[in-house]
Structure 1
Amino acid sequence: MNEANFAHPVLDAQALGEVPLAVRLLAEDYVLWRDASGMPCAARDRCPHRGTKLSLGRVCEGQIECPYHGWRFDGAGRCTQIPALPSFTPSDSHALSPLRVLQAHGLLWLQLDGGVNLPRFDGEADAKLRKLNVGPYDVATSAPRIVENFLDLAHFGFVHEGWLGDRGHTSLDDYRVQSTATGFVASGCRAWQPQSNRLSTEGSWVDYRYEVMAPYTAVLTKLPQLQDGYRDEIALFVCPVEPEKSRVWFRMAVTDHDSSDEELSAFQHTIFTQDQPVLESQVPRRLPVSGGEVHCAADRSSAAYRRFLLECGISFGIC
C-alpha cells in the first residue's frame, strides 16, 4: 500500500461546471470535466495524440475536446472523434485512461489505484449539525506536516493565544492513543480555550477527540463543557500536490445554526492563517519519520501519526 491507493480531494464539487479544470495531485497533472449527465470525469491532463493539455480544451456534449486537433474523448476515455479523419473509427490505443472520481463532503476526490474507500466523517450523517466547507488554502509545506499540526494541542497557547489557548494553561493532561482498523484515535485530550468556537463568550475547558483514518486526513470532535449541547466536528482534508506543497480544506459540522456562513468561515480562517506561517517555516518541509527531531511525552499523537504513515507505505511528503 502507498499514497496512490487512497482517495484524495482535488477540487470543490461546485467549482466544476461547463469547462474542464486542471488539478495537480502527487506531482502529476489531471483534468476534470462533467459528462452529458453532469457526472464528474477525470483523466491525466495529456492528450495521447501529441501530449497537449486537455484542460486547455473545451467540453462538447459531455466529451472533452483537445485544443490542438479537436480529438474528443467521452467519460469512459474512448476517443469518439478525430476531425481530420471523419470516417475513421479510433481504436482502444487512442483512448484515455479514465480515473475514478468520487464526490463527498462537498469535494471531488480522485482515486488513482486500488479500492480504498473515502475517509469517514461521522458529522456528515448527523442531520442536527450544520455543514460548511472552508478553503481551499494553498500551503507551502508537505501534507504530513499539516496533519501533524492539526493533531497537536501543545501549540494552542502560543500560536492561537487568546483564541484556542493562553500561556497560563499550557500544561497537557495525559491522553490516550489507540490503534484502529484504519488508523488511530487520540482521546482524553483537554485544553483551556478563551474562545473555542465563534459563539463562545467566556473561556472553558474543551474535550478533544482526534481520529486519523487516512494518511492526509484527520477529524476532531470538540465538546465545550460550558455550552450544553454544543458540538463541533471538523475534518481536515489535505491534497498532496507536491512533496512540499499542499491544498487544504476544512469540512465543518457544527451545532451553530445562528452564525452566517461568512462568520463561521472567518473564525476557521483566523485559526488556520495563524498556523500557516508556522507550518511554512518548518525545516525540513517534509515530515521527518526516521529521526532528526526530538520529542516529548506530549507528542504521542505525533509519534502515532508518523508510525501510521510508515505502516501505510507512504513516501510522499516525508523524509
Structure 2
Amino acid sequence: MSAQWKPLIEHQGYLRHFWHPVCTLSEFERANASGHGPMSVKLLGEQLVLARLDGQMVAADDRCVHRSARLSLGSVCKHEGKDTLQCPYHGWRYDETGEVKLIPACPDRPIPARAKISKYDCEVRYGIVWVRLDSSFNCTEIPYLGDWDTPGMKVIVADSYLWETSAERRWENFTDFSHFAFVHPGTLYDPFFATHPTVNVDRTNGELRFQLAPPREMYKNLPEEAPMGDFTYRCSMPYTVNLEIKLWKDDSKFILWTTASPVDEKTCRNFMVIVRTEDNQPDHVHLAFQKLVLEEDRPVIQSQWPIELDSSELSVSTDKISIQYRKWHRELSQAALGGYEEFKASLLTEVIEEH
C-alpha cells in the first residue's frame, strides 16, 4: 500500500460483536447429503464449521483439537443416542457444546479436560444462518428485515454470492445514489437525472435511516421489472440494508434486503432477500433483474483500491450517507476498545436531523 494511504478503520475487532450471515439455510442443507452438515464457512478470517445437532444449529472452530483436521470434512453421527460431529481423521466426536464425547482409539480412558473446541452464537433467521464470534458485550441483534412473515407477501431468499471487495465497499455501493446514472443507465436510472438532493440521515436503535424519492419522470424510460418508487432505507449496522419501495406503478410494496458478510479483509459474501406484495410474476423474473443490476455493479466495485476504506478519499456533499456511515464505523471501532458500556452507547445513541 502506498505511504499516502491509511485505512479509515484501523481496529477491526469491534466487528466480532455483531451478528453476521455465513450461508443460507438452503446452502447449508445442500452442502451435505444428510442435510445436517457439516459445512465449512469463513467469517472475519476465521475458519468455522456448521452442523445441525439434534435440531440445534452449531458454529464452532473448524479444527479438531487432536491433530488439527478440518471437522467440516467429517460427518454428523449418533453417540449414545445424541447427534455428534465426528472428525474425519481419528473419529473424535464432539457434542453441541463443543466437548469431545468419544475418543475411539482409547474409549476406556478419561477424556482430557482440554478436549473441547470453541463454540459461537449461532441462529437461523430469514432462511439464513447467522454467527456472532464474540458475545461478551451482548448488545447486538440480528438485523431487521421488514414484512418477512406478513401474510400476503411473497418471499425469495436468493443464494449468496462472493465479491472481491470489503463489506464496507459493498454496503456503500448499495446506498450510493450518485452512481445510478453512470453504472445503471437504462436499467435503474435515466442518465438525464444525474443530480440528486442530499437527504436527512438519522441514527436510531443501531440503524441509519433515510429516504429518497427519485424523479417520477424517468419511470417511462426504464424496464417494467425495475422496482422504481419512493425509497425508505433502514440500515442495521454494520452491513445490512432494508430498502422498502412504494412502487409507482401500483402503490404496492417491494422490499429489497441485502447484507454483506466480511469473509476476510478482501472478500465479502453477500445475501439478498426480496419481499413483495403478490404480483403474479414468477420469482425468477425478479431474481434475473437483480442479478443484471449486480453484474453492472460488480466490476466497478471490485476495481476500487485499496479494498479497505481509505482515509485519503475525497468526499462531496452528495456523499452524505457514506460520510455518516464511515463516521459511525470509526466511532464503534474506538468505542469497542473502551469496553461494553462505551460500545453500547455508541451503537444505541440516537442522532436525529431536523426534517
Same structural fold, with TM-score higher than 0.5 when normalized by the shorter chain? yes
1:84-123 CA-partner distances (Å, limit 9, x unpaired): 1111232431112221211111110111112221011122
Cα gap change, 1:131 to 1:313, in 2 (>3 Å): same
| Higher helix fraction (1 or 2) | 2
Where does the alignment leave 5 or more consecutive residues of structure 1 unmatched? none
- Distance, in Å, in 1 between the alignment partners of 2:158 and 2:127 is 10
- Residue 198 of structure 1 corresponds to 225
Contact preservation (8 Å) 1:3, 1:314: no
Q: Aligned residues, how many?
A: 307
- Distance, in Å, in 2 between the alignment partners of 1:40 and 1:313 is 29
- Distance, in Å, in 1 between the alignment partners of 2:334 and 2:266 is 14
Instruction: Give the counterpart of 1:48 among 62, 65, 88.
Output: 65
Letter in 2 for 1:233: I
Cα gap change, 1:198 to 1:144, in 2 (>3 Å): same
CA shift at 1:228, angstroms? 2.4
Cα gap change, 1:178 to 1:305, in 2 (>3 Å): same
CA shift at 1:64, angstroms? 0.8
- Distance, in Å, in 2 between the alignment partners of 1:122 and 1:196 is 25
Letter in 1 for 2:114: S
Contact preservation (8 Å) 2:226, 2:289: no
- Residue 102 of structure 2 corresponds to 81
- Distance, in Å, in 2 between the alignment partners of 1:266 and 1:19 is 29
Larger mean Cα displacement after TM superposition, 245-254 or 189-198:
189-198
Contact preservation (8 Å) 1:173, 1:189: no
CA shift at 1:23, angstroms? 0.2
Aligned residue for 1:303, secondary structure, equals: helix
CA shift at 1:256, angstroms? 4.2
Q: What percent of counterpart residues are identical?
A: 30
CA shift at 1:196, angstroms? 7.1
CA shift at 1:27, angstroms? 0.5
CA shift at 1:188, angstroms? 3.7
Q: What CA RMSD, in Å, does the superposition of the two structures yield over aligned residues?
A: 2.0
Any residues of structure 2 matched to 1:12-31 within 5 Å, and which?
Answer: 12-16=24-28, 17-31=35-49
Any residues of structure 2 matched to 1:138-157 within 5 Å, and which?
Answer: 138-157=162-181
Instruction: Give the counterpart of 1:292 among 287, 312, 320.
Output: 312
- Residue 217 of structure 1 corresponds to 240
- Distance, in Å, in 1 between the alignment partners of 2:320 and 2:226 is 31
1:167-188 CA-partner distances (Å, limit 9, x unpaired): 1111213321112121311124
- Residue 205 of structure 2 corresponds to 181
Give the structure-1-normalised TM-score: 0.90
Any residues of structure 2 matched to 1:116-135 within 5 Å, and which?
Answer: 116-135=140-159
Alignment of 1:237 onto 2:249 = no
Where does the alignment leave 5 or more consecutive residues of structure 2 unmatched? 1-12, 29-34, 336-355
Give the structure-2-normalised TM-score: 0.82
Aligned residue for 1:270, secondary structure, equals: helix
